[in-house]
Amino acid sequence: MAEGFATLLVFGLLLAGVTLVAFAATMALRLRLARLAPALGVSMLLMTALLFAVFPGSGALGVLALVVLSHAIAGAVIHWRGRTARS
């Protein structure tokens, strides 16, 4: 039970950190790219390459799931923030 809780806690903290980096990287790329979709795509590509370089023994599916989930959260927050700012 404690191991499962610790695993969920570590995954939650990792997801929160990666989401924060995804949000910052996407906002920085939006300064150069006008639309949200290309900025998210470039950010996902760069983060996936970085995570594979830093953690070479990790599974591809886990890294891909982490990057996709974190960028989905960051993209939704950026989109929602833009919609509420225009209202």
Could you give the number of structural domains in the chain?
A: 1
| pLDDT score, position 86 | 67
Task: Report the mean per-residue pLDDT for the chain.
Answer: 87
User: Is the pTM for the entire model greater than 0.85?
Assistant: no
Q: How far apart are the first and last CA of the chain?
A: 46
What would the mean pLDDT of 23-35 be, rounded to a whole number?
Answer: 88
Task: Provide the domain limits for residue 55.
Answer: 2-86
Mean pLDDT, residues 28-44: 88
Can you give the pLDDT at residue 73? 92
Could you tell me the pLDDT band of residue 56, with boundaries at 50, 70 and 90? confident
| The residue type at 52 | F
d(CA 74, CA 70): 6
